[in-house]
DNA sequence: ATGTCTTTGTGAACGCGTGCACAAAGATGG
DNA sequence: CCATCTTTGTGCACGCGTTCACAAAGACAT
């Protein structure tokens, strides 16, 4: 994954652990797929496999929501879809603004996953006057000057920042001042926000660096003198439960 | 943040906790900024503030790398940049391929953060024959048919998947079979890979859903009968260490 | 009804990560 | 050379999250 909250004060909202909340969307996706195939019920084992987690974890996660399963049978797919959707707040409409319509911002605007689950792109905002009025993904880009008005008029509480790093904090401040209380940050910066405002960040560069770390680790593990050596075509081992951690032998030659 | 590894088998690579590894890029970024301003040394307190973490945590993180600080003074910026870069494996060149050159793939190809830290876009690959040959970000797109050859010729070990969900697993399988051992997945799917292959995922939809959860929580907390109510312009409280968790009172009316 | 079989829900143990608080280290000034 | 002051490095305790393993619950067959 490429996300992570900036910091977790361990404030377990209402009793649902943060770690569980982060997995609910995963379950929801798997359940939606089952629903589309008209599968009526599913066991924790099956669903866990589909979501790529441990079945015990899944059951414990669901137990925080309530007792929605039937012993000996499993979970009712439709019912669970509804319960999770409700818990995540997806039964209501969430207008979202995207600030910074460059390559990434445009890609996000075009991203289908937005509309699918109650999220609606209410507006696109960019600082470049030349962009103003231009339609991106069918939505005309508006100028940053109108940011506050746009937020208020549309009742936006979720903002997406896709600006260059230098502009991110300033945009963030304006969004927050205008009433936004949740921010998804794609700019490579640490955002400073008041209490009560949630920030989640998506950082490509960080993800790659983490991968590089493990990659380097693998390289020194086996045959220290390897060139760009490809272990290649390792015996395919199906397992829905692998982790990026790689289960490296962890022997370390010295 | 918008990332998260699929699962963490707690395999603490060589003794550096996974949580620490995930923060190293953050420190590196802050240090690089200091370096550019020619700041010679920095204390754990200052650096922690810049990176948005707790100073004790930062010191503990660094202690896993070795004793690189000087008591009473702090850390030498340049030296630390080098040490972290080396630990992350950024002192070497990492050729990367991006598969799926749609809106997102193109945005990633254009993303500057790639080239900056030892990562080099070695090739762009797409399944659409019409795309073949077209330059994106100055790099000609190649067809999926040549995927294996491209991987091997360039010694690629890191692959980025930006295809539609339906194609992701298949692309992943081919990448892995060709020798890729680290994958950054932007497709909304759980990828199944053999042991020894790292997968990190970036999922916009999941991030938004997590934000929506907390947003909904905030909404019901205060004034249950609120419309799209904006608490707006809350007293600005500077704190580099806030978390999206929001410190909600957690009372629940019933 | 009763028994068997499946699957959930959860108590308990364990391990990782975080943060506190302090001793040790070293710089700096007299 | 000694005293003082700053800042690191870390032992320790605590809490969250994960996993195991099992009792309870219910379906289903007889």
| pLDDT tens digits, one per residue of B124-175 | 999 999 999 999 999 999 999 999 999 999 999 999 999 999 999 999 999 9
Work out the average pLDDT over B193-198: 96
B80 and B136 fall within a common domain: no
Tell me: pLDDT of A1 over 80: no
DSSP class of residue B23?
H
Residue A55: both structure tokens together: 């079945």
CA-to-CA distance for B120 and B113, rounded, in angstroms?
A: 10
Report residue A123: phi and psi, to 5°: -165, 155
- A125 — pLDDT class (breaks 50, 70, 90): very high
Report residue A140: phi and psi, to 5°: -70, 135
Task: Specify if B208 maps to a domain.
Answer: no
CATH of the domain at B65: 1.10.10.10
What lies within 8 Å, CB to CB, of A40 at 6+ separation is: A76, A77, A78
Work out the average pLDDT over B13-35: 94
A49 and A105 fall within a common domain: no
* CB distance A198 to B242 below 8 Å: no
Task: Specify if A217 maps to a domain.
Answer: no
Residue B141, beta-bridge partner list:
B124
What lies within 8 Å, CB to CB, of A252 at 6+ separation is: A221, B14
- B234 — pLDDT class (breaks 50, 70, 90): very low
Q: What is the pLDDT of residue B5?
A: 40
B17 and B117 fall within a common domain: no
Task: Specify if A211 maps to a domain.
Answer: no
Q: Give the domain-ending residue among A161, A179, A205.
A: A205
B125 and B57 fall within a common domain: no
Q: What angle do CA A201, B164, A134 make, to 5 degrees?
A: 70
Q: What is the pLDDT of residue B223?
A: 57
Work out the average pLDDT over B223-230: 47
Q: What is the pLDDT of residue A219?
A: 87
B173 and B75 fall within a common domain: no
Cα separation values, B85 from B90, B122, B224, Å? 5, 21, 50
Task: Specify if B180 maps to a domain.
Answer: yes
* Structural domain total, chain B: 2
A113 and A57 fall within a common domain: no
Q: What is the pLDDT of residue A85?
A: 97
CA-to-CA distance for A138 and A122, rounded, in angstroms?
A: 11
What lies within 8 Å, CB to CB, of B150 at 6+ separation is: B97, B122, B123, B125, B142, B156
B84 and B99 fall within a common domain: no
Task: Specify if B230 maps to a domain.
Answer: no
Compute the nearest-CA separation of A121 from chain B (Å).
Answer: 12
* CB distance B23 to B52 below 8 Å: no
A79 and A33 fall within a common domain: yes
Q: What is the pLDDT of residue A242?
A: 36
**For residue A225, how many other CB atoms are within 10 A of its CB?**
5
Work out the average pLDDT over A204-225: 86
Residue in the structure block whose two tokens are 């289908």 = A112
Please provide the DSSP assignment of A67-123 as one string: --EETTTEEEHHHHHHHHHHHHTTTS-EEEEEE--SHHHHHHHH-THHHHTTEEEEE
State, as a whole number of angstroms, the distance between the CA of B116 and the C1' of D3.
48
* CB distance A189 to A213 below 8 Å: no
A191 and A165 fall within a common domain: yes
CA nearest to A94, candidates A158, A7, A148? A158
Residue A203: both structure tokens together: 């950082």
CA-to-CA distance for B28 and B75, rounded, in angstroms?
A: 13
Instruction: Report the SS3 class of residue B123.
Output: strand
Q: What is the pLDDT of residue B110?
A: 95
CA-to-CA distance for B140 and B127, rounded, in angstroms?
A: 13
Q: Give the domain-ending residue among B29, B54, B88.
A: B88
Q: What is the pLDDT of residue A224?
A: 52
A72 and A147 fall within a common domain: no
Interchain contact, B245 vs A5, CB within 8 Å: yes
B124 and B186 fall within a common domain: yes
Q: What is the pLDDT of residue B112?
A: 82
Interchain contact, B11 vs A215, CB within 8 Å: no
Residues with CB under 7 A from strand C: A 7, 43-45, 55-56, 59-60, 62-63, 67-75; B 8, 10, 12, 17-20, 53-54, 56-57, 59-60, 70-73
CATH of the domain at B166: 3.40.50.720
pLDDT digits 0-9 by tens, A78-106: 999 999 999 999 999 999 999 999 999 99
Task: Specify if B127 maps to a domain.
Answer: yes
* Contact map slice: A 120-159 vs B, CB within 8 A: 152, 155, 157-158
- B222 — pLDDT class (breaks 50, 70, 90): low
State, as a whole number of angstroms, the distance between the CA of A39 and the C1' of D19.
29
* CB distance B194 to A242 below 8 Å: yes
Compute the nearest-CA separation of B15 from chain A (Å).
Answer: 9
The residue segments making up the domain with residue A77 are 15-88
- A116 — pLDDT class (breaks 50, 70, 90): confident
Tell me: pLDDT of A223 over 80: no
CA-to-CA distance for B141 and B132, rounded, in angstroms?
A: 5
Given A194, A210, A217, which is nearest B236 (Cβ)? A194
Task: Specify if B232 maps to a domain.
Answer: no
Interchain contact, B237 vs A9, CB within 8 Å: no
Task: Specify if A10 maps to a domain.
Answer: no
Q: What is chain A's mean pLDDT, rounded?
A: 86
- Nucleotides on strand C with an atom closer than 7 A to protein CB? 5-11, 15-21, 24-28
Length of chain B: 254
B48 and B133 fall within a common domain: no
Q: Give the domain-ending residue among B155, B183, B202.
A: B202
Q: What is the pLDDT of residue B224?
A: 52
Tell me: pLDDT of B252 over 80: no
């Amino acid at each position: 994954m490429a996300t992570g909250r900036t910091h977790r004060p361990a404030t377990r909202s209402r009793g649902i652990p943060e770690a569980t909340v982060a997995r609910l969307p995963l379950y929801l996706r798997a359940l939606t797929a089952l629903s589309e195939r008209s599968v009526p019920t599913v066991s924790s084992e099956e669903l866990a496999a589909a979501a790529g987690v441990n079945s015990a974890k899944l059951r414990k996660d669901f137990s925080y929501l309530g007792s929605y399963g039937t012993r000996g049978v499993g979970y009712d797919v439709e019912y669970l879809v509804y319960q999770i959707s409700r818990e995540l707040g997806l039964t209501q409409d969430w207008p979202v603004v995207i600030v910074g319509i460059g390559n990434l911002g445009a890609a996000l605007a075009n991203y289908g996953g937005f509309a699918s689950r109650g999220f609606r792109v209410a507006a696109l905002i960019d600082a470049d006057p030349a962009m103003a009025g231009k339609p991106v993904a069918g939505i005309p880009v508006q100028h940053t000057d109108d940011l506050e008005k746009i937020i208020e008029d549309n009742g936006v509480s979720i903002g997406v920042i896709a600006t260059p790093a230098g502009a991110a904090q300033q945009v963030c401040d304006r969004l927050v001042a205008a009433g936004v209380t949740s921010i998804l940050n794609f700019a490579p910066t640490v955002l400073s926000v008041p209490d009560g405002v949630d920030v989640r960040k998506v950082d490509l560069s960080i993800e790659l660096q983490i991968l590089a770390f493990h990659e380097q680790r693998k390289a020194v593990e086996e045959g220290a003198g390897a060139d760009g050596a490809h272990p290649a075509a390792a015996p395919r081992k199906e397992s829905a439960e692998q982790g990026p951690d790689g289960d490296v032998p962890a022997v370390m030659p010295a």
